[in-house]
Structure 1
Amino acid sequence: MSGRTGRLTTFARASGAEPERRGPEGRGHGGAGLYIVLISLHGLVRGHNLELGRDADTGGQIKYVVELARALAAAPEVRRVDLLTRQVIDPKVDPDYARPEEVLAPKARIVRLPFGPRRYLRKEVLWPYLDSFVDQALQHVRRVGQLPDVVHGHYADAGYAGARLAGLLGVPFVFTGHSLGRVKRERLLAQGMRPQAIEAQYNISQRIEAEEQALDAADLVVASTRQEVEEQYASYDNHHPRRMAVIPPGVDLARFHPPRRGEGDPPIAAELARFLREPRRPMILALSRPDPRKNLVTLVQAYAENHRLRALANLVIVAGNRDDIRAMERGPREVLTELLLAIDRYDLYGLVAYPRHHEPSDVADLYRLAARRRGVFVNPALTEPFGLTLIEAAASGLPVVATHDGGPREILARCHNGLLVDPLDADAMGEALLEALTDRARWQRWSKAGVRGVHRHYSWASHAATYLRALRRVLRRRPRRRTVVPTRSRLPMVERLLVADIDNTLIGDREGLAALLEALTASGARVGFAVATGRRLDSALAVLEAWGVPVPDILVTAVGAEIHYGHWMIEDVSWQRHIDYRWDRPRLVEAMAELPGLRLQPASEQRRHKLSYFVEPERAPSVRAIRRHLRQRDLHANVIFSHGRYLDLLPIRASKGMALRYLAVKWGLTPERILVAGDSGNDEEMLRGDMLGVVVGNYSPELERLRGRSRVYFAEGRCAWGILEGLRHYRFLEEEIRVPETASA
């Protein structure tokens, strides 16, 4: 290891483009047909007895992705569908959610990957663990041994993770937001909730930024309604309608159908009758999660204050399942408490049914029971991106009264089976319900029209066909070269890899550095050595030489924009092709020239995939404003601000963390065999996820937020001494590495 030309391990033939594996159709997989990966991370996902309404996270989206997986798998041109979600090992939930895999259909399965704590978590606290999901998903792809043709993320959390996964695999990315953070924030503000409270409860800024990143990376955005595209997504900087497709969800027509002649009352009818003095009166049915957005209290007010309506019909509210309201999470607890107080205030006992429990099989029975009673379904939600319950009700022959927002407007325009109302106008809602119930001839027309409209517009078979047509257009547009192919490593001598930042981590203490290099030399050829730095290549090599560090096996330079191998510094050209995705350097230079307080750094600091600027803080816009400026021009870049005066633009696929995950896939190293050491905020992305992290003792305060993570060790030693301490902590140079779980149970 002595001398400028020394190497810790030979990374031979490391720069060539990866070989492609093509199936009979020319796709990068091992057989004919499409391999589709769907991602839905929060809530409780299984293929049977869905616990819809159990909490705010287990609702219509869960049903949507499960049915989508089944519908796509039924298409002849699809070979495999994997629905990736979170594994939950928690005595408070069913053991089904701990099973690693569950078969949905002959070509579809649910795959549950462990990330974060084992216990069930609400979606707002999953954000710190999403990088770990990406690491786990990469390992799943390796186990499958074939690349997916597309990755489709559902909701903001899976949008963030799916964009990264698709980027690392070099495959197209599809995004469905379901409900959007900007819209939610506007509604909560309109209700009088303070911005600080919204942020504290919902992590709304992080959610919105994740949605922006997902839209930035998406080749296709699937929306349920035209209103989503024109009004909801339009509030985002990355609103590009040409990449959006409106594909309404489907409904299981075998399960949801009108009442059949001779059918008796279902079991759920007896449960409702316990609440009602006259259970055979017409039924006003509401079915939703106990979520403030569902606006159930206004529905109670609308019913209670319309005396003709109270005299004509019963109100049935099915708001999830509960045992003890006091034991529920804050949001559902507050909604149900307010609901019960409203029922008590208006003295609606005997007129309103609000069962504590129902089975998934009861849902279709409830629609048919309401239709048999000549009732109406009501959706009073403040916002409704689509409204799956509306098409279920329509398929069951039950007319509807629904909020004048989003999906209901388009559903009723197609099905002609009810009325739209202002969800904030309780009086108008009550009158609409009364009107729907009192004209029997029109009720019959609405019932028949709803069934016809659903069969015409909302079957899962038609949804899958439209989805696959849109997907084929994306696949034709995108090049078929697969940049990162999960093959066996071409470096069989390397069993594990140490990665260190340079400044203030690897260098800064000569005695500590000498001790570290001696330990690495003694470990032999099985341990590879890499550096990841913001420096350009020549600067990195110069400072390493000045400190007597042999040329590493891998150099990740320019904040992740470049990867070079070994003594001859052979460039990884496949990485360059990989990060070139949506990188338009000339237009970026033009757009940045429009902003004040920014000056290009010298040509020596510029790289093919890095634009660097000096910043005048008193004149320059904020990083958020710069991102928005670029996104509104359909320009795509990672914007990195450091040390209060430097700004770098990189491709959206380029960063030190993404480069390391690329290397892990390319060279066949699992995250547990990569140890990453850093000292500052620009190392944070490397330290997150499933790799083993070491924060050296002289770290910057911004890394304090990582304290407590089981795979991030805070060393006491400074610089290289801290790296050595971390190596000992994980026993990284010993026969068996000490690998903590990704989070405490």
Structure 2
Amino acid sequence: MYILHIALGGCLTFPAVRYGVTEDTGGHIAYILGAVTAQAKRTDVDRVDIVTRAFDDPDLGSDHMHLVQTIGPKSRILRLATGDRRYLAKEALAAERPALERAFADLIGRMGRKPDVIHAHFSDAVMTVRGTAARHDIPVVYTPHSLGIDKQACLKGPGCAVLARRIDEEREALATARAIVVSSRDEAERQVEAYDADVAAAVHRVAPGVNLPAAPSGTVAASALVDPYLTDPERPMILAVARPVIRKNLLGLMRAYADHPTLRDRANLVILAGQRGGGIVQNEESRRVTDALLREAARPDLAGRVALPPRHAPKAVPQLYRLAAARGGVFVNPALHEPFGLTLLEAARFGLPVVATREGGPADILETIGHGTLVDPTDASAIGAAIDALITDRTEWQRAASAARRNMQAFDWNRWADRVQRVYSEFHRPRRSFARPRHLLASDIDGTLTGSAASARRFGSWVAKNRHIPFAVATGRSIVEARNVLHAWSLPEPDIFITAVGTELHVREADGRFHLCHDYASRLHEDWDRDAAWRVLTSSSLELQPNIEQRRWKLACYGSQREAELLRERYRRSGVAVRIVASHGNLIDILAPNGGKAAAVAAAARRFGLNLADCITAGDSGNDSDMLVASGLGILVANARPEMATLHGGRIYRAEAPHAAGILEGLAHLGLVREEPKRRSQGVFA
């Protein structure tokens, strides 16, 4: 496979990237270089190149004039030359778009072998390549890195009109791409969906890796960089590394440090806020933030306690993480919103505990690694208190540092490359087609398909062999998270996705992509007053599930079966029509009255000319009950939750085997698994 990445902004070179030398020379470049390096190692990748823009600016380095730059035996940087050879900031590239489109078309036209996929970074890259990609039938994958909708909340003034145009372009890019690769659940399920572009089914959440080496030599460069600013350099170091933009909230961190009663006396604050001075390109926003930081640092009570170095060499960054860890410090990402948070992974690489914003990707990172604390970035006192707690509680500091080193392997570029390669491969894989199927199989995922790797493999083999039977998954998860679990268990992608407890039905349309079924969505809209349902829920004393679990046709809270009954009665008295589903002993879902897994399975079956009596369903918990009872055969796996003990009605097969083996047992009962020995039923009909 030949993979072509394209990113137009910033100073993209190899190997010595001068991060922070311009506003646009940031984390996306580290992401692309990490991705390309891992992809180039793969035996199923023949070549992987990066396309960027050529410019001539002596202050920024001569590399950017070269149209071809070698990275490795299988990878290069290819630069597009246009009439304007100046360095242009991202906002100024729009005027150069027509010339870049022509240059890209010429580049592809000269290639003997066309790329098998174009992976575009930021919306401007998608818009630049989409015409040429369409002419040559090359699928485009889009990684946004940073989306404008969240930035809009942080930015006021003349930049708003520019940002509005960017948001419109991002919406168009989302609709153009065959697949969208993001890093966090927040990006996948909140940010992208905020564009209302019906692309949720094209989104894949794939965690990136870390580029910094695990053990850079020494800390001499880091000490030389920051110690001259500090009266007592050996005190614990509070470290932040971020671009000087409003969204990164560095001024909020400075004030949290300055205003904490004891933090100033216990620790030093070191902020690496890009680069400044001669030869550095800063826009108005970054200059304003930098000036505000310098004014705050000049307070008399902060003298000798704050370091804001104007420049740094690339080797100093990994050494700073190591130095902060050696001094018992903490890394802080206080961003008002952080799409992912690569710096939190970099800190973990060096065993450095973190305090991070709860807004965006850091929640995913800390849930996986467990090396610190999430905070409200708008609460300065909470930021200061969280930093102080980690610095002063050495037991907790050691626990977080150990977790960082132990759990870092979850974020690895080779894993990223493997997962994304599967995304690319889907574009060229023949689709399953069904003439006149007799059955549809719909199964829950967690605890039903998953739980036994061997059984999951056998089930996957059965799906591959029985191409005449459509396969659907019916889960409480979003489609993005459902895909991730299926991938983790090496389970096949289904023909139909039923997600969010049967309130979202995703079907594959003629363009080869999954889309939300609008007929089913229209049915869910009937009699559903989400605002009224939300008011009733929030007026109860039940604890809400996280915002990301609140969907268009599903609300969610925590509670027991008994609390679900009380909530059901509360809705009845309020006159608000809902369906309430309790499961797993502590989860309650409030659904649109026409939703649920049974309704979604019925809608999926109709697409194949079938009805519920023709469907086989499998599950293990309360949110599977309706489809198990309503279908022609419901398979209850042996590891079913206690709440299913009293399930009755319909045609229920209670399997003796757990997980996917139980599904195969039920299919064998119907004669659909020839090699699977029939097991004695404990009571086929409940």
Question: Could you say whether these structures have the same fold, taking a TM-score greater than 0.5 normalized by the shorter chain as the test?
Answer: yes
Q: For the residues of structure 2 that align with 1:97 and 1:272, how far apart are their CA atoms? A: 30
1:551-577 deviations in Å (ceiling 9; x for gaps): xxxxxxxxxxxxxxxxxxxxxxxxxxx
Shift of 1:36: 0.6
Instruction: Indicate the larger mover: 175-184 or 413-422.
Output: 175-184
Distance 1:36 1:382 in 2: 34
Instruction: Give, in whole Å, the separation in 2 of the partners of 1:163 and 1:449.
Output: 43
Which residue does the alignment assign to 2:418?
465
3-state DSSP of counterpart to 1:151:
strand
2:355 partner letter: V
202, 207, 211: which one aligns with 1:248:
207
Which residue, 216, 220, 229 being the options, matches 2:188? Answer: 229
Matched, 1:344 2:311: no
Tell me how many residue pairs correspond in the alignment. 441
> Does 1:148 find its partner at 2:148?
no
Cα distance between partner residues in 2 of 1:80 and 1:452: 33
Of the candidates 22, 28, 45, which is equivalent to residue 55 of structure 1? Answer: 22
C-alpha change, 1:158 and 1:326, in structure 2 (3 Å) is closer
Q: Report the counterpart of residue 238 of structure 2 in structure 1.
A: 284
Of 212, 225, 228, which aligns to 1:271?
225
Structure 1 residue 581: Cα displacement? 5.9
Tell me the residue number matched to 1:557: none
Task: State the match for 2:159 in structure 1.
Answer: 198
Equivalent position of 1:686 in the other structure? none
1:96 and 2:63 matched? yes
CA distance 1:383–1:45, change in 2 (3 Å): same
Contact 1:116–1:129 (8 Å) recurs in 2: no
Contact 1:166-1:173 within 8 A present in 2 as well: yes
Gaps of 5+ in 1: 1-33, 480-579, 592-631, 633-745
Deviations 1:100-145 (A, max 9, x none): 1111121111111113521111101111222322221122122221
Displacement of 1:327 in angstroms is: 7.6
Q: Distance in 2 between matches of 1:248 and 1:211?
A: 21
Partner of 1:498: none
Query: Kindly tell me: are residues 349 and 403 of structure 1, through their superposed partners in 2, closer, same or farther at Cα, counting changes over 3 Å?
Result: same
1:70, distance to aligned residue in structure 2 (A): 1.3
Letter in 2 for 1:135: R
Once residues 280 and 353 of structure 2 are traced to their aligned partners in structure 1, the CA distance between those partners, rounded to angstroms, is: 35
Residue identity matched to 1:250: G
**Structure 2: runs of 5 or more not aligned:** 433-509, 522-551, 553-686
Q: Which amino acid aligns with 1:238?
A: A
Aligned residue identity for 2:258: A
Pairs within 5 Å for 1:425-444: 425-444=379-398
Structure 1 match to 2:167: 208
The 1:264–1:92 alpha-carbon spacing in structure 2 relative to 1, beyond 3 Å, is closer
Q: 1:658-693, CA deviations, whole angstroms, 9 ceiling, x for partnerless residues?
A: xxxxxxxxxxxxxxxxxxxxxxxxxxxxxxxxxxxx
Closer, same or farther in 2 for the Cα pair 1:187/1:327, shift >3 Å? closer
How far 1:150 moved relative to its partner?
Answer: 0.5
Structure 1-normalised TM-score? 0.57
Residue 386 (1) aligns with residue 340 (2): yes
Larger radius of gyration: 1
Amino acid at match of 1:461: N
Deviation at 1:252, TM superposition (A): 3.0
SS in 2 for 1:152: strand
1:367-410 residue CA offsets vs partner (Å, 9 max, x unmatched): 00111111110001111101111101101110100111111000
How far did 1:478 drift? 8.1
- Give 1:394's aligned amino acid: A
Q: What one-letter code is carried by the residue in structure 1 that aligns with 2:159?
A: I
Q: Match of 1:76, SS?
A: coil
Distance 1:224 1:264 in 2: 31
Other-structure match for 2:429: 476
Letter in 1 for 2:276: R
Give the share of equivalent positions with the same residue, in percent.
41
- The equivalent of 1:179 in structure 2 is 146
CA deviation string 1:343-363 (max 9, x = no partner): 123631200011111111111
* Letter in structure 2 aligned against 1:125: A
1-structure distance, mates of 2:423, 2:280: 47
Partner of 1:554 in structure 2? none
Cα distance in 2 for partners of 1:249, 1:467 equals: 10
Q: Which residue pairs with 1:111 in the alignment? A: 78
Distance 1:112 1:325, change over 3 A: closer
Aligned position for 2:50: 83
In structure 2, the residue corresponding to 1:475 is in which secondary structure?
A: coil
Give the 3 Å change call, closer, same or farther, for CA 386–359 of structure 1 in structure 2: same
The answer to whether residue 414 in structure 2 is matched with residue 447 in structure 1 is no
TM (norm. structure 2) is: 0.62
Match of 2:592 in 1: none
| CA offset digits 1:634-660 (Å, max 9, x no partner) | xxxxxxxxxxxxxxxxxxxxxxxxxxx
Contact 2:188 / 2:203 at 8 angstroms: preserved in 1?
Answer: yes
Query: Can you list the C-alpha shifts for 1:228-252, whole angstroms capped at 9, x where unaligned?
Result: 1111001113142211110011113
Query: Separation in 2 of the partners of 1:478 and 1:334?
Result: 53
- Alignment pair present for 1:367 and 2:321: yes
The 3-state SS of whatever aligns with 1:323 is: coil
Name the SS of the counterpart of 2:219 in structure 1.
Answer: coil
Q: Determine the structure 1 residue equivalent to 2:5.
A: 38
Of 407-416 and 437-446, more deviation after overlay is shown by: 437-446
1:426 partner amino acid: A
One-letter amino acid of the counterpart of residue 123, structure 2 = A
CA contact (8 A) 2:133 2:140 kept: yes
CA distance in 1: counterparts of 2:402 and 2:345, whole angstroms: 13
Asked if the contact 2:21/2:60 (under 8 Å) is kept, the reply is: no
Q: CA deviation at 1:206?
A: 2.2
Secondary structure of 1:347's match? helix
Shift of 1:445: 1.3
Q: Which of residues 289, 312, 323 in structure 2 aligns to 1:358?
A: 312
Q: CA deviation at 1:78?
A: 0.3
136, 158, 166: which one pairs with 1:169?
A: 136
**Matched residue, 2:277:** 323
Cα distance change, pair 72–142 in 1 and its aligned pair in 2 (3 A): same
Cα deviation, residue 298, structure 1: 0.7
Measured after TM superposition, the shift of residue 156 of structure 1 is 1.6
Change (3 A) 1:282 1:174: same
Give the alignment of 1:622-661 within 5 angstroms. Answer: none
Contact 2:357 2:374 in 1 (8 A): yes
Structure 2 CA distance for partners of 1:169 and 1:131, relative to 1, 3 Å: farther
